[in-house]
Structure 1
Amino acid sequence: MGSRLKLNPERTFYWFFEAMCPVARDKDPSVQFMFPEDFADEESCQTLPRFCFPYDIQRARDGVAVQHFTFALTDLEGCQRFGFCRLANTSQTCLCILSYLPWFEVFYKLLNNLADYLAKGQTNEARTLLSELYKQPVPLVSGSVTLSMGEQVLVNEVSLSVGHPEAPEGVPYFIAPDPRSLPSIPESRNLTELIVAVDVGNLLQLYASMLFERRILIFASKLSTLTSCVHALTAVLYPMHWQHIFIPVLPPNLLDYCCAPMPYLIGVHTSLSEKVKSRGLEEVVILNVDTNTVETPFDDLKRIPPDVMSQLKMTLKRQAVSPGCGVSRAFLRAQALLFGGYREALCTQNGEISFNEDLFLDHKSNNMRQFLQSAVHLQFFKQFIDSRLEILNKGQEPDDLFEEEIENCEASPGKSRSYQQFVGNIRKGGGALILNVKSNMKAKGLTKSGLKNLLNHKQSHNEEASLQRGGSMSHRHTGGLQARLATTRHFGKG
């Protein structure tokens, strides 16, 4: 699986509860209010409230009145469930709503509405709102959701605007976010918090560490900033996805996860930092958000092609203080420059499209080749290739912002045309296409003569298949065809 998001979840959310901060470290939080009342997942009932107070309750003294933060859990199918939290310092309570949908601003605003109801003792109104949203089908695309509360209509367009032409005055509404859009500033709280808290130099260090799948710890004394930074860092890998341990905020009872030998991305409240560091961590990259400092035992930044990093650095310095999706676009362009060449390594054999690792590495510059020789063995790249092959072998064309950015990065028009011709023939021929990979097809991709040979090979393959079905194929003819087939390495399956 590439993305850890669940496809077509049954509900907008699965559980809402209000938890009370425990009075001692060895005590569990108590649940004061919950919906639905018959929620029967005992493990979640026991585990989730602990994530609502992920700090040393006897040491942390945060003066922030209200904080919004998010934790994430992985279910048995490998999909992420998100716990969106609203922690009130005055009442020492935390509201939490559990969902498979990564709608950060939607649920944060919903939690504010519910907090107002509960603070006024209007539990019936809170329960009605939750009941309507619980029954409401999940919108398949961005758009409005209309909720009915008795005779009153609540237009819940699940984004963050105030007021709605069809909603009664003072009634909140939301807009379901577009999953295809890039995070923008200031609309994306996660990205905005990251850019404000971490300077460009340290941001590049963290990006490099993620590209090499290191063990990464992030410390911060403000929970909202902590989890925003963790979530925003995973987003800069788009269209790839972090495949390893992912814990935006770690509760005290799970600190041993920081000693895991495999890659991870974990957020830890500053009040627990001494306990974590006392475990004798080795080869761990550490970001301290409060001091804006990065500690790393690796030279990952130097291992990424300098032309890509210098361009990214220059763009980030220019875009970091600008509203819009300039920061996200800068990382997307870097990803396209680093990995966009995968399209030139697509090969077919017996009608099945595969990825030729040798071809992918062979035509790169020395710096690029050295970087990709490590990258091709990493999980996020393997999962990315698997997902692209799955799309192509269904006779479809990958169509997302990453593919568009690759087109923007193409220096040679021939590259773009050859790939479009390749995909077009796959779609027309149902995948029955033979691509002969020759040693002279290096960095410039398929030339005009190469494209002509490709089409000739397709015609030969079709004639060969016709003869084979008729039972009249000669041994000599078969050998000639097999000699023209690409030698491919099936990649990323496992």
Structure 2
Amino acid sequence: RLYHLRRLRDFRLPSKDAPKDQRYASGQFFFEYLVVVSLKKSKSDVYEPLISYQFPKRDGMVRFQKEEEEKTLKAITLFCFPEGINWAPLTEYRSETFSFVLTEVDGSRRNGYCRRLLPHGKGARPPEAYCIISKVACFGLFSKIFDEVEKRRQISMAMIYPFMQSLREAPFPAPGNTVKIKSFIPDSGTEIISLTRPTDSWLEHVDFRTLFRCLSDEEVLQVFAATVLERRIIFIAEELGTLSQVIHAVSVLLHPFIWQHTLISIVPEILIDVVMAPTPYLLGVQKRFADQVTDQGDLLAVDLSEGRTQTFIRQVGDENSILPHKLKEEILQALKMRNETATLDELNQVVPEAFLPFFVKTVGHFAKHITRTGQNQEGHFQKRTFCKAHESKSTRRFVKKFVETQMFDLFIQEVEQSKVCFFLSFPGFFEQKIAEYHKKMKEKMMKQ
């Protein structure tokens, strides 16, 4: 439950002139392991995904650890090749990079980054996938690492090992900082590879460009509204990269809240029955399975594919009226501030500035409704007075629904259990925005 608080504190970033120990996230590796998943022909004459390379090898595990490891590796092969189709050797294949999330029994999550490509060689051959498992959520950083892995794979599989070993031994940089990796390549000599984490740690796993390329601003708002109320949402697309990027972008729009339910950015065919679950989820499904997943009950099914006849294949019907009208218009106006040719960094600035004020204005008064018997005592959230604090009926109506979500409940539990001085001494980004908003409103009142 302290995850949210740690995440907020990531905004208190060390400068590049800070001492070395502040520039790195101590005790954290770039990754747990790298695997290469190859398609091998089975006895039944079909190609099946199998792990052909793993770094580092895990030795000395007891029986239950080996069993868990085998389950994880099996899951990785499914997520790297989720289509469930009979692959065949190819002469051309467009490389694609995507990500997925492995959720443990205790709710903890690990990130899987995958690049699928046609290995170097002549003639027809099946594609293979490189997959990195890491506790770190940073899509852009691992995409660059894949570029280096792919470059070495073209020379020899053996060239991957020294690079990944150097990477594993390197200190993991704090947000906004860079780590340099030395790596030797035959005929090229020693190269220095710079890997930089984005300054805003909560945005380092997201690329908003895909979301706003696939959906209009108004459509994004309908998806956002359904997500805020923790509904069942399915995204449909041909490309795996599109599915993973859109789902991660949508989940980031919830900041400072965190999606607490099922999140599978790419659902393998063998797990397609997960769409029947009655609980909230964010699922990415390939277009070929669309007919199998859109005949469910209350859900929002979003078609992201090009040339679609309609975006929302299924709807509950109230998505356009969930958000208070005035606040919804403010988000739309803020989104219009971006350029059509906005870069990733520009979008990562404009989009949060458009959506975060929504939460500031609807639930930013939460601290005023936490009562404590003493400074170091746990607090108690006064839900009733909190919900009635707004003058606007539409805002009150939304807040009453939102406080019943699991994401808000967990957020408030963390605030209740924290020391009262925490938010005063270490205000997170959300708290900073709340303070700025209250100051602005106070100045406005004084001028009247």
2:323 alignment counterpart: 304
Name the SS of the counterpart of 2:165 in structure 1: helix
Q: Residues 136 and 171 of structure 1: is their aligned pair in 2 closer, same or farther, counting only changes over 3 Å?
A: closer
1:44 alignment counterpart: 72
2:288 equivalent to 1:288: no
Q: Mark the runs of 5 or more structure 2 residues left unpaired by the alignment.
A: 8-24, 60-65, 120-125
Percent of pairs identical after alignment?
Answer: 22
Shift of 1:28: 4.0
The one of 143, 147, 158 aligned to 2:177: 143
In structure 2, C-alpha distance between the alignment counterparts of 1:393 and 1:43, rounded to whole Å: 43
Shift of 1:200: 0.8
Amino acid in the other structure paired with 2:178: S
2:155 equivalent to 1:120: yes
1:68 alignment counterpart: 97
Deviations 1:311-351 (A, max 9, x none): 11122233262341111210111221222121221222254
Q: Mark the runs of 5 or more structure 1 residues left unpaired by the alignment.
A: 153-166, 417-443, 445-494
Contact (CA 8 Å) 1:19, 1:33: kept in 2 or not?
A: yes
In structure 1, C-alpha distance between the alignment counterparts of 2:224 and 2:286, rounded to whole Å: 21
2:150 equivalent to 1:131: no
Matches of residues 42-441 of structure 1 in structure 2 within 5 Å? 42-58=70-86, 65-89=94-118, 91-121=126-156, 123-149=157-183, 171-180=192-201, 182=203, 190-277=207-294, 280-290=295-305, 291=308, 293-294=311-312, 295-319=314-338, 321=340, 322-323=342-343, 324=346, 325-351=349-375, 352=377, 353-364=379-390, 365-393=392-420, 395-397=422-424, 399-410=427-438
Contact (CA 8 Å) 1:180, 1:401: kept in 2 or not?
A: no
Contact (CA 8 Å) 2:182, 2:191: kept in 1 or not?
A: no
Contact (CA 8 Å) 1:361, 1:373: kept in 2 or not?
A: yes
Amino acid in the other structure paired with 2:38: M
1:431 alignment counterpart: none
Contact (CA 8 Å) 1:142, 1:178: kept in 2 or not?
A: yes
Amino acid in the other structure paired with 2:400: Q
Name the SS of the counterpart of 2:259 in structure 1: coil
Larger Rg: 1
Shift of 1:358: 1.6
Contact (CA 8 Å) 1:69, 1:85: kept in 2 or not?
A: yes
In structure 2, C-alpha distance between the alignment counterparts of 1:192 and 1:64, rounded to whole Å: 24
Contact (CA 8 Å) 2:264, 2:283: kept in 1 or not?
A: yes
Contact (CA 8 Å) 2:110, 2:134: kept in 1 or not?
A: yes
Contact (CA 8 Å) 1:2, 1:240: kept in 2 or not?
A: no
Q: Residues 358 and 275 of structure 1: is their aligned pair in 2 closer, same or farther, counting only changes over 3 Å?
A: closer
**How many residues are paired up?**
396
In structure 1, C-alpha distance between the alignment counterparts of 2:436 and 2:105, rounded to whole Å: 39
Q: Residues 343 and 100 of structure 1: is their aligned pair in 2 closer, same or farther, counting only changes over 3 Å?
A: same
In structure 1, C-alpha distance between the alignment counterparts of 2:40 and 2:214, rounded to whole Å: 30
Q: TM-score, normalised on structure 1? A: 0.72
Amino acid in the other structure paired with 1:244: H
User: What RMSD over aligned residues (CA atoms) do the two structures have, in Å?
Assistant: 3.2
1:422 alignment counterpart: none
- Relative contact order (C-alpha < 8 Å, sep 6+): which is higher? 2
Shift of 1:9: 6.4
